[in-house]
Amino acid sequence: MTSTQDRSLVGNEFEPLTQHADYPPARATIDPNADLGWVRRLWPLLRSHMWVLGGAIATGLIGIGLSVSVPLIIRNAIDSRGLSGEGGSTTGLETYVVALLVIAALLVLLRSTYRSLLFRSAHQVDTDLRELLYSHLTRLSFSFFDVTASGEVISRANSDIRSVQILLAFAPLAVLSVVSFFVALVLMIRIDLVLTLVALVPMPFVYYVAQHMRNQVFPLSWISSSRQAEVATVVDENIGGIRVVKSFAAEEQQIASLAAAAQRLRWSAVQANDSRARHNPIIEALPQLGSALVLLYGGILAIDDKITIGTILAFNAYVILISLPFRLFGFLLMQSQRAAAAAQRIFAILDKEIEITDKPGAIDLIDPAGAIEFANVSFGYGRQEPGEDDATSNPLILNDFSLAIEPGQTVALVGRTGSGKSTVTRLLPRFYDPTGGTVSIDGHDLRDLTTRSIRHAVNVVLDEPFLFSVSVRDNIAYARPDASLDDIIAAATAAEAHEFISELADGYDTVVGERGYTLSGGQRQRIAIARTLLANPRVLVLDDATSAIDVQVEEQIHDALSNLMTDRTTIIVAHRLSTISLADRVVLLEGGQIVADGTHAELMATEPRYVEVLASAETSEGNDDDPTEADRS
């Protein structure tokens, strides 16, 4: 994928970042009607690849026509040449042999073509479904990720989509086998109706056994998919939190947790496999009973000279053809149940409502001055269910919160854990919408603006920096992929990161480990600050962004930040006096409301609660080399 930065303004349009994909987007989406079956919901996506699928089916049908002609050719060869009795002659068999060789060559070509096209269409749908799922995930609001385990999402995006893809690859083969069944059946009826009925005697029992297996396998497939996600969640959390696990010597505990999850998965998987092991051999064996009956009854007819030996051989070949769908039936029934359960889990994500969306007629925030206002804002995490008490189901973090910040002003938010400081910073870039009141920039309610323009103007440096497993250069240039190395170095220098980056093995091309854990906390934080500085937002939010940096390095960063914050509206969530000193104004929060507002000196002289909060923070810092805010306050 290639990316270009377009910061130009054309008329009233604004586009902070234009992505040019090297691959086409999904050709269609699923049907939004959740009351439809999963195949009907997936049909728009399947239909978008109908040319490839249609080509596969067309070549498959031609192959079926050639396949069903083979027993007739053999029958004619045996009966017309008299090979089934005395005095037979091989004269003229060359024509039949050549015909069979030509058909064999054509079948190789046709079957190779339709299998290639079938799997190509299945993988195309697989790719489109992944693109749809991931695209939807990127648009889902933070409230979804607050309550959804990452392992659950990964399982649905991988194993569940894989289950659907496998069925899409083999289901058309089953359809073609069903077509061959009916074609062969018609030809069998034309040869001998009674013999055909004898061959079909076991078929009703096949249907009964298959239905019995389906009723057992479907719920077990759903349970297995859920438990695969549970295992993935345990693994994901343990890898992501490996430092916590090791610091508490909790390896045995986590192994036990994984073993318990694996045991639950094993139970459902074994139960499903046991059901298939009991039913599939019966499903596959019953058609063979039809072949035995055909040979028995057909042999009696041949002895009585009512049919020829060639007819029996042709008839037996057709019995093999009509048994093919039943040999596939067990596998496809199992896979269809697994795919149905997987598709419903995928649709459960695709059906999730996107809470933060651009309203019709939303305008771009162009060249903002940076005036910010919170007017009577109320907010609580989580969504209130109908009939639930707001005070219990959705406790308010902010309650009638009002704050106005002038353009270019730097404001420090100070308060105890849980007072709502970080929540203020998450409402500003519209990660969440307030449940009451308004948040505005330059007099525009955020809900009247496009989210992309808001997040171009407002950038947040979080207290826990996240780095991608790419080079340091790519991490800094994340918001501006086309940024020159000089610009990247300038941003790193301003964040006091250039010196340690230069000392890395490959400098700016050094690839950091997962989440950047090959670097120290302070190094990660400085790269995150450099990333934000390169984006050059009009409104800068530092959510306790220097908490992982030692005091000496913090002072160096503050010198750079002081210059960069000039004429830039800045909100600082702070607990250190050195960070608070950067602010023109300090706001003290308690219980989701402002209880004091003024300069640091004013609050120190007049507000004992402010003095108490600072004293508590200093004590905490003295006992913790890497203080972080533990909740979403």
Residue ranges of domains in the chain, CATH in brackets: 34-350 (1.20.1560.10), 372-383+394-623 (3.40.50.300)
pLDDT, residue 143, reads 79
Within 192-241, residue ranges assigned H as helices are 193-199, 203-240
Q: How many percent of the chain have pLDDT more than 90?
A: 10
Look at residue 390 and tell me whether its pLDDT is greater than 50.
no
Maximum separation of any 2 CA atoms in the chain, in Å: 124
Strands (DSSP E) contained in 452-584 are 458-461, 539-543, 569-573
Q: Residue 13: which of 459, 535, 482, 450 has the closest Cα? A: 450
103: which residues sit within 8 A by CB, 6+ positions away? 66, 69, 70, 73
**Is the four-CA dihedral 516, 518, 520, 523 of positive or negative sign?**
negative
124: which residues sit within 8 A by CB, 6+ positions away? 49, 52
pLDDT, residue 491, reads 87
Confidence at 574, pLDDT banded by 50, 70, 90: confident
SS (H, E, C) 397-424: CEEEEEEEECCCCEEEEEECCCCCHHHH
CB 268, CB 224: distance < 8 Å: yes
> What b/e sequence results for 107-118 when a residue is b if at least 16 CB atoms lie within 10 Å of its CB, and e otherwise?
beebeebbbebb
Backbone angles phi, psi at 293, to 5 degrees: -65, -40
pTM: 0.69
Residues 268-327: tens digit of each pLDDT: 778 777 777 777 777 777 777 877 887 788 778 777 777 777 787 887 788 777 777 766
Rounded to an integer, the average pLDDT of 556-577 is 74
The C-alpha atoms of residue 424 and residue 253 are separated, in whole angstroms, by: 37
The C-alpha atoms of residue 441 and residue 437 are separated, in whole angstroms, by: 14
Rounded to an integer, the average pLDDT of 461-484 is 84
Average pLDDT, the chain: 78
Q: Residue 629: which of 410, 407, 422, 353 has the closest Cα? A: 422
DSSP 8-state assignment for residue 81:
T
Look at residue 553 and tell me whether its pLDDT is greater than 60.
yes
Tell me the residue length of the chain: 633
Look at residue 353 and tell me whether its pLDDT is greater than 80.
yes
Confidence at 63, pLDDT banded by 50, 70, 90: confident
Of 213-227, 278-292, 453-467, which has the strongest mean pLDDT? 453-467
Confidence at 8, pLDDT banded by 50, 70, 90: very low
Look at residue 533 and tell me whether its pLDDT is greater than 80.
yes
pLDDT, residue 242, reads 62
CB 454, CB 363: distance < 8 Å: no
- Torsion angle of the four alpha carbons 101, 106, 107, 113, in this order, in degrees rounded to the nearest 10: 160
- Torsion angle of the four alpha carbons 561, 565, 569, 570, in this order, in degrees rounded to the nearest 10: 10
CB 314, CB 72: distance < 8 Å: yes
CB 397, CB 572: distance < 8 Å: no
Confidence at 616, pLDDT banded by 50, 70, 90: confident
CB 187, CB 68: distance < 8 Å: yes
